[in-house]
Amino acid sequence: MSPSVETAEHEALLRLLLSGAPAASLRRLLDSHGSGVAALAAGTRDWASHGLDAAACRALRNPDPDAFGRALAWLSASPAHCLLSWAHPDYPPLLRRIATPPPMLFVAGDPALLWQPMVAIVGSRAATAGGNANAALFATALARAGLCIGSGLATGIDAAAHAATLEAGGATVAVLGTGPDLAYPPSNAGLLARIGKAGAVISEYPPGTPPRRAQFPSRNRILAGLALGVVVVEAAVRSGALITARLAGEAGREVFALPGSIHNPMARGCHRLIREGAQLVETPEDVLETLAPMVRDLACALRGTLAIESGIEGALTRAPGVDTEAPAADAAQVRLWRALGHDPVDLDTLAERTGLTVAELSPMLLAMELEGRVAAEYGRYTRIAR
């Protein structure tokens, strides 16, 4: 997309979002017309047929100039800022599957991370020191295993998970309940800036949107919807983390909870989740074991082919110790296998070598890693010698 075309699309999407039309109407409009520009050009009768009332139609023609200007300024302030719409092929595939997907996402950072298999690590803002250490432990290990770590930028468990992932050189995504330009709490502004550079920050709210109580449960549905599973590290019995876990369960995602001492009030929420059916996990490996088949399924679904699966099965049935090339699989699979060596290479290099995008490579690599054919450390990949 050329810059001017992108700007026109951003402007159209902003008008749609700021019209105040229901999210379902916006998604249907984008489905019908394929882009914000086309939806905006369709006119009042078409808008009304998609459920926009008179006020929304008026706002669509004459958006609030302050909000519109602020959002447009934010989008043009950096090439790393974008607005990802429901109509865009890069809209995160797992998020598409939830009951109420947001029609648009403001993204600061690398939108390709939204395609990487993600696990959310969440928990109490008033976590214990042990809880924060456990969040860091799980985030580090799961990030090194190739999973993207999602969280909500809150104090406590969220911040510990984000920070440990950055430390480990892993991928992390912060899902905000404010506009993408505001840290909440403000003390996490430094962390937010680091995530925007090394990971991705996303929000369904336009830049400048302040924190409001109702926005946080809504944010939690996005976090749960992006992730294959949610790990609750420590949580009180009534807490946002439990809402995220419940939403994850409703969306068919895995819910994991760490147990703790019966004398730790911050373990109560986790214990409640376990009683309600969440998986009790003691180690990051417990999480990986459960997610491995889901990552494979996701990789297959994303690539629209069973080639990876058959490749994995081929690998599993191969005699050990025989150093073969990649098993029978499709061309992309073979290209990736050849691009991998016994020296660690990063994702960008692999993208260059294969001609595949990072979004395509991430799930393929994680599947190969979980299958034991590829090792990943600090975001660099090597073949495992057999």
Based on the shown chain and the rule CB under 8 A, indicate whether residue 129 belongs to the binding site for a copy of itself: no
Packing angle, helices 307-317 and 284-303, rounded to 10: 130
Nearer to a copy of itself, 290 or 305 (CB): 290
Provide the minimum distance between the beta carbon of 342 and a copy of itself in the complex, in angstroms, as a whole number. Answer: 35
Contact 230, 245 (CB under 8 A): yes
282 forms part of the interface with a copy of itself (CB under 8 A):
yes
- Closest to a copy of itself by CB, 31 vs 289, is 289
Token digits for 45? 């009768």
Nearer to a copy of itself, 84 or 232 (CB): 232
Q: Which residues of 328-346 are buried (b: 16+ CB within 10 A; e: fewer)?
A: ebeebbbbbbebbeeeebe
Q: Report the distance separating Cα 188 and Cα 201, nearest Å.
A: 13
Q: Report the C-alpha gap between 199 and 171 in whole angstroms.
A: 6
Tell me which of 22, 51, 130, 217 binds a copy of itself, using CB under 8 A.
130
Among 279, 290, 305, 382, binds a copy of itself (CB under 8 A): 279
Nearest to 144 by CA among 384, 382, 376: 376
Tell me the residue type at 98.
I
Q: Which stretch binds a copy of itself (CB under 8 A): 172-180, 185-193, 219-227, 279-287?
A: 279-287
Q: Which is nearer to a copy of itself, 252 or 277 (CB)?
A: 277
Query: Which window, 196-204, 244-252, 257-265, 289-297, contacts a copy of itself (CB under 8 A)?
Result: 257-265
- Contacts with a copy of itself by CB under 8 A: the residue count is 18
The one segment of 184-192, 278-286, 332-340, 369-377 that binds a copy of itself by CB under 8 A: 278-286
C-beta of 264 vs 310, nearer to a copy of itself:
264
| 274 near a copy of itself (CB under 8 A) | yes
CB 165 within 8 A of CB 198: no
**At its nearest, how many Å lie between a copy of itself and the CB of residue 132?**
14
Minimal distance in Å, beta carbon 235 to a copy of itself?
Answer: 14
Tell whether residue 258 is a contact of a copy of itself (CB under 8 A). yes
Contact pick of 261, 324, 349, 357 for a copy of itself (by CB under 8 A) = 261
Q: For 73, how many CA atoms within 13 A lie in the half-sphere containing its CB?
A: 9
Residues contacting 346, CB < 8 A, separation 6+: 379, 380, 381
* Residue 186 exposed, middle or buried by CB count within 10 Å (0-12, 13-18, 19+): exposed
> Helices marked H in 145-279 — which ranges?
157-167, 189-198, 215-226, 240-250, 268-275
Does the N-terminal peptide bond of residue 63 adopt cis geometry, omega within 30 degrees of 0?
no
| 271 contributes a contact to a copy of itself by CB under 8 A | yes
Strands (DSSP E) found in the chain = 81-85, 104-109, 118-122, 148-151, 172-175, 200-203, 229-232, 254-257, 279-280, 345-346, 374-377, 380-383
DSSP reduced 3-state for 193? helix
Other beta carbons less than 10 A from residue 309's beta carbon: 16
Query: Whole-number minimum distance, CB 262 to a copy of itself, in Å?
Result: 5
- Say how many C-beta atoms besides its own lie within 10 A of residue 177's C-beta: 27
Region binding a copy of itself by CB under 8 A among candidate stretches 73-81, 222-230, 240-248, 268-276: 268-276
Closest approach, Cβ 267 to a copy of itself, in A, equals 7
Site for a copy of itself in 19-58 (CB under 8 A): none
Considering only 5, 55, 189, 280, the residue that binds a copy of itself (CB under 8 A) is 280
Give whichever of 71 and 287 is closer to a copy of itself, judged by the CB atom: 287
- Interface ranges with a copy of itself (CB under 8 A): 130, 134, 258-263, 267-268, 271, 274-275, 279-283
